[in-house]
Amino acid sequence: MTHLERLEAEAIYIFREVAAECERPVMLYSIGKDSSVMLHLATKAFYPEKPPFPLLHIDTGWKFKEMISFRDATAFEKGLTMLVYKNEDGARQGVNPFDHGAAYTDIMKTQALKQALTRYKFTAAFGGGRRDEEKSRAKERIFSFRSESHAWDPKNQRPEMWKLYNTRINKGESIRVFPISNWTEKDVWQYIRREGINIVPLYFAKERPVVFRDGNIIMLDDDRMKLFPGESAQMKKVRFRTLGCYPLTGGCESEADTLDAVIAETLAAATSERTSRVIDNEAAGSMERRKREGYF
Amino acid sequence: MTDLLKFITCGSVDDGKSTLIGHILYDSKLIYADQAQALLLDSQIGSRGGEIDYSLLLDGLMAEREQGITIDVAYRYFTTEKRSFIAADAPGHEQYTRNMAVGASFADLAIILIDATRGVLRQTRRHARICSMMGIRSFLFAVNKMDLANYSEESFESIKSDVDALKRELNLQSAALMPLSATAGDNVTTPSVNMPWYSGPTLLEFLEEVETAEIRDSGLGFAMPIQRVCRPDASFRGFQGQVESGSAACGDTLTVLPSMEKAKVKALYLGECMVPEIFAGQPATIQLDRELDASKGCVLAKDASLKSQKRFAATLLWMDDAVLALGREYWVKVGTKLLPAKVESIEYKIDVNTGDHLPANVLEKNEIALCRIEASENLVVDLFRNSRSLGSLILIDRLSHATSACGVIEEIGGGRLEGVVFDDGKIRVETNLFDLFLFNPLSGTIERVRPEPSVYRLGDELPLKGRGYAYPGDFDAESEKDSIRIRNSRFAGFGPHESSVPLLSRHGLGVSENGLDPFEMYRSIIYSA
């Protein structure tokens, strides 16, 4: 078996164990390339049955428009239930990425996620996190246990031996499950090519209206994005290496408008994919802190 | 050669494990520019006086960076032109042994670091022992910090003889040895100019070329533990799981363990594709030609050496803060099966540092012991040396749900024979028929004396009269399915109980049937003899 086939087999094994042993699983669907790979793996794992769990998208209200239309088309095409959850309380208070910085991520993503998991009483939630993304992720188990308050205790993780996963929990507790923990960004792209997986067009370079701000290229996805004095909108051929909330996601200038070109650029890249996430660059340990508090 | 190598780095505290991996990543330009820049910045404010501290690339938790130690395993991914690698960087402190074992269970190769100025330490031995227990068959002993030992060949040679002794003690078949310096970079990715006396490969060359010896999963036959039954509608029923060994093709006859029912393969799927044959490692869906009773935890097999047994002996690594409670029920997970099970006894504890066998009646966190385990029902198991997947287990606390222990199966069945066993060539049943109970009137206690263990085969004559018991020449003793038939004082095989003879329990006590007074019946058995 090739390297990719081994990674695929590992992920499918994990999907099946959770479906067989956990009471109420759900799959977090963030619309990005990792989510597309996850959904493809889940489809393969259970065929000819459909994946026996719903998808959950935490909508901050600030995702790229193309992401939302891709999400809805995917759910329709696959015939799956797509639960969309928004922290309405936060939205009513006008919490937004421009004025509220870290509080925005906490309220509209972390709190929203916790509210949704509690509301639907999910006992296991699949996520597309990978250990090569960030240092605290590199330490996380594939089956990552969460307390009743959704907190992660990195200093006291459950041992995880061979592929004997322990899925047992007490009432109120839950498990985050990361089937593609051992994949790298390169593996994800090569798998997308090998399997012909559909991804959001934002990953491919195209002329888009953007503004240069704090060293990032931010796309003007709708008119809620206000320009500061001295800033101007420009048309640039850009693509995105990761996808999130558009005001917080930096693009890169690129000519890569085919999958092969994107892969070639990615493999030659000099910076890691998370540099395009504005929130990650705040302080060392910021990811761990957010994860302890319940972020994916 | 596989195109993916999973390895663990371990060794005692401060042997430079994280530094070594960090250095490989840095030298091979395998980290991104932003990570390298963060590393340079972090190093400037770090504890090494501005020198690059490669370990900062790996120690990712805040508590680890604060204390300058590794608490949990970190996984790092890198690719060279020859191979992809996953490195598990394991903590060295004894209190984090269980986290180190997590990394070992994942790896195919162990790099054990030895500090050239300190030689083979207790922790070195502990790590080598745990790696070996968890199934690693390929080792590299890397003698690090050679720069602090003046790059001296003599120091290296004296450590080599200690390593050779350890190799013999742990019976390691494949173990290489090399001198290097992780901080100075000697023999990490480039050959050392300081050690001309060493002519072997650099660490990176070694990792790119090494063929790992793996536990071959039973090698012989086909085995697939069932993870789940897929039934999208009434017309389709497929068994889903990962093939652990061998191959199966359409038309093959498979046996379901433990029920032993048989059926033929009707169709095979890999993902959405129908395929004619499936092979070890693949995640498959199997459709059989007839309905049979099989569900999660059963194993579909063909020509495999698997056994269905309730009792087995396993070397356990205890990982829970709560100590092992003998006789209490835990959950045991083997393959995809989860069942209640009890640890009946501790045969002996193994000193993780020295390997000495010690008598014990408690087992605490981070200790290893050979234990006898009894599951509530038959489990499909294999020896760990034959099968990584069906020879390994975890124990789960029924209340806290903690993963209390992991273990590897060393013996299947009663192991050291106990009691009186009846064997008709197909089935073995263990009984306590000839136990002797002695009442001590002074202490008021009853002592149980077990007979010499013995196996009786068809036609064997039985010692039905002893100092404390006298059985009739004809009776049936209860067994799981059929009774054990004793006729004319001989073992006459297994079969349904015949009401013309008395029925006894497996312990040799009378069993009441049809409302008969049990005492009356018991007396009649004793006195008629």
pLDDT digits (tens, 9 = 90+) for B367-376: 999 999 999 9
Both B184 and B295 in a single domain?
no
Both B368 and B512 in a single domain?
no
CA distance B454 to chain A (A): 36
Collect all residues of chain A within an 8 Å Cβ-Cβ radius of residue B334: 164
Sign of the alpha-carbon torsion through B257, B258, B263, B268: negative
Both B91 and B148 in a single domain?
yes
- pLDDT for B355-403, tens place per residue? 888 888 889 998 999 999 999 998 999 889 888 899 999 999 999 999 9
Instruction: Note whether B84 contacts A5, CB cutoff 8 Å.
Output: no
- Angle between the N-to-C axes of helices B97-106 and B122-133, in degrees from 0 to 180, rounded to the nearest 10: 40
CA distance A93 to chain B (A): 33
The SS3 assignment for B284 reads: strand
Q: Is B217 domain-assigned?
A: no
pLDDT at res. B354: 79
Both B194 and B229 in a single domain?
no
Both B121 and B65 in a single domain?
yes
Q: Which of B49, B17, B379 is nearest to B203 (CA)?
A: B17
CA distance B135 to chain A (A): 10
Half-sphere exposure of B237 (CA within 13 A, CB side): 9
CA distance B61 to chain A (A): 6
Q: DSSP string covering chain A, please?
A: --HHHHHHHHHHHHHHHHHHH-SSEEEE--SSHHHHHHHHHHHHHHTTSPPSS-EEEE--S-B-HHHHHHHHHHHHHHT--EEEE--HHHHHTT--HHHHHHHHIIIIIIIHHHHHHHHHT-SEEE----TTS-TTGGG--SEEEE-TT----GGGPPP-BTTB------TT-EEEE-TTTT--HHHHHHHHHHHT----GGGS-EEEEEEEETTEEEE--STTSPPPTT---EEEEEE-SS-SBGGGB-BEE----SHHHHHHHHHH-SS-GGGGBGGGGSSTTHHHHHHHTT--
Instruction: Note whether A3 contacts B3, CB cutoff 8 Å.
Output: yes
Both B248 and B233 in a single domain?
yes
Q: Is B455 domain-assigned?
A: yes
Minimum mean pLDDT range among A17-26, B365-374, B515-524: B515-524
- pLDDT for B67-82, tens place per residue? 666 677 888 888 888 8
Collect all residues of chain B within an 8 Å Cβ-Cβ radius of residue A292: none
Last residue of a domain, one of B248, B283, B302: B302
Q: Which residue segment(s) compose the domain that B22 sits in?
A: 4-209
Interior CA angle at B272 toward B268 and B275, to 5°?
A: 35
Both B520 and B393 in a single domain?
no
Nearest CA in chain A to B318: A159
**Interface contacts (A, B; CB < 8 Å):** 166
Instruction: Note whether A168 contacts B401, CB cutoff 8 Å.
Output: yes
CA distance A39 to chain B (A): 13
Distance (Å, rounded) from C-alpha A123 to C-alpha A82? 17
CA distance B429 to chain A (A): 30
pLDDT at res. A16: 97
pLDDT at res. B529: 46
The yes-or-no verdict on residue B260 having pLDDT over 90 is no
Nearest to B228 among A8, A16, A164 (CB): A16
pLDDT-based confidence at B2, cuts 50/70/90? low
Interior CA angle at B480 toward B475 and B482, to 5°?
A: 50
The yes-or-no verdict on residue B518 having pLDDT over 60 is no
CA distance A202 to chain B (A): 23
Both B462 and B484 in a single domain?
yes
Place of tokens 């068959």: B137
- pLDDT for A271-282, tens place per residue? 555 555 554 444
Question: Exposed, middle or buried by CB within 10 Å (0-12, 13-18, 19+), for B464?
Answer: middle
Average pLDDT over residues A214-237: 88
pLDDT at res. A281: 44
Distance (Å, rounded) from C-alpha A141 to C-alpha A30? 20
Q: Which of B4, B143, B159 is nearest to B85 (CA)?
A: B4
Instruction: Note whether A20 contacts B336, CB cutoff 8 Å.
Output: yes
Distance (Å, rounded) from C-alpha B435 to C-alpha B417? 14
Distance (Å, rounded) from C-alpha B377 to C-alpha B331? 12
pLDDT at res. B234: 87
CA distance B230 to chain A (A): 7
- Of B161 and A135, the structure prediction assigns the larger pLDDT to B161
CATH number for the domain harbouring residue B8: 3.40.50.300
Q: What are phi and psi of A64, to 5 degrees?
A: -60, 145
Q: Is B216 domain-assigned?
A: no
Which of the residues A8, A16, A197 would you substitute to probe the B interface, choosing the one with the greatest number of B C-beta atoms within 10 Å?
A16
Instruction: Note whether A1 contacts B282, CB cutoff 8 Å.
Output: yes
Q: Is B214 domain-assigned?
A: no
pLDDT at res. A135: 75
- Of A119 and B92, the structure prediction assigns the larger pLDDT to A119
Q: Is B484 domain-assigned?
A: yes
Residue A119: CB partners within 8 Å, gap ≥ 6? A85
The complex's ipTM works out to: 0.87
Both B151 and B187 in a single domain?
yes
Nearest to B34 among A43, A49, A271 (CB): A271
List the beta bridge partners of residue B346.
B371
Both B232 and B203 in a single domain?
no
Instruction: Note whether A9 contacts B282, CB cutoff 8 Å.
Output: yes
Which of the residues A161, A181, A194 would you substitute to probe the B interface, choosing the one with the greatest number of B C-beta atoms within 10 Å?
A161
The yes-or-no verdict on residue B284 having pLDDT over 60 is yes
The SS3 assignment for B123 reads: helix
Both B246 and B294 in a single domain?
yes
CATH number for the domain harbouring residue B283: 2.40.30.10
Collect all residues of chain A within an 8 Å Cβ-Cβ radius of residue B297: none
pLDDT-based confidence at B216, cuts 50/70/90? low
Average pLDDT over residues B458-473: 84
List the beta bridge partners of residue B240.
B228, B285
Half-sphere exposure of B254 (CA within 13 A, CB side): 33
- pLDDT for A26-55, tens place per residue? 999 999 999 999 999 999 999 999 999 999
CA distance B437 to chain A (A): 42
Nearest CA in chain A to B3: A3
Nearest to B396 among A2, A166, A186 (CB): A166
Q: Is B269 domain-assigned?
A: yes
Nearest to A168 among B230, B285, B396 (CB): B396
Q: Which of A90, A33, A57, A62 is nearest to A219 (CA)?
A: A62
- Indicate the DSSP class of residue B49: T
Collect all residues of chain A within an 8 Å Cβ-Cβ radius of residue B406: 159, 161-162, 164
Which of the residues B79, B134, B240, B270 would you substitute to probe the A interface, choosing the one with the greatest number of A C-beta atoms within 10 Å?
B240
Q: What percentage of residues in chain B have a pLDDT greater than 70?
A: 83
Tell me the one-letter amino acid at A34. D
Alpha-carbon distances, residue A215 vs A169, A230, A251, A256 (angstroms): 45, 15, 10, 21
Strand order in the sheet with B420-423: B428-431, B420-423, B454-457
Instruction: Note whether B72 contacts A182, CB cutoff 8 Å.
Output: no
Minimum mean pLDDT range among A4-13, A88-97, B47-56, B446-455: B47-56
Q: Is B409 domain-assigned?
A: yes
Last residue of a domain, one of B302, B326, B354: B302
Exposure class string for A95-128: b at 16+ Cβ within 10 A, else e: bbbeebeeebbbbbbbbbbbbbbeeeebbbbbbb
Both B237 and B350 in a single domain?
no
What six digits make up the tokens of A225?
Answer: 């994005």
pLDDT-based confidence at A90, cuts 50/70/90? confident
The yes-or-no verdict on residue B345 having pLDDT over 80 is yes
- Angle between the N-to-C axes of helices A33-46 and A65-78, in degrees from 0 to 180, rounded to the nearest 10: 0
- Indicate the DSSP class of residue B453: P
Collect all residues of chain B within an 8 Å Cβ-Cβ radius of residue A271: 32-34
Element (H, E) at B174: strand B174-179
The SS3 assignment for B170 reads: helix
Nearest to B62 among A43, A49, A288 (CB): A288
The SS3 assignment for B230 reads: strand
Which of the residues B336, B338, B388 would you substitute to probe the A interface, choosing the one with the greatest number of A C-beta atoms within 10 Å?
B336
Last residue of a domain, one of B414, B430, B447: B414
Q: Is B215 domain-assigned?
A: no
Nearest to A275 among B34, B59, B283 (CB): B34
Average pLDDT over residues B220-247: 92
Nearest to A9 among B60, B230, B242 (CB): B242
pLDDT at res. B37: 59
Q: What percentage of residues in chain B have a pLDDT greater than 90?
A: 39
Domain count for chain B, please give it: 4
Half-sphere exposure of B239 (CA within 13 A, CB side): 30
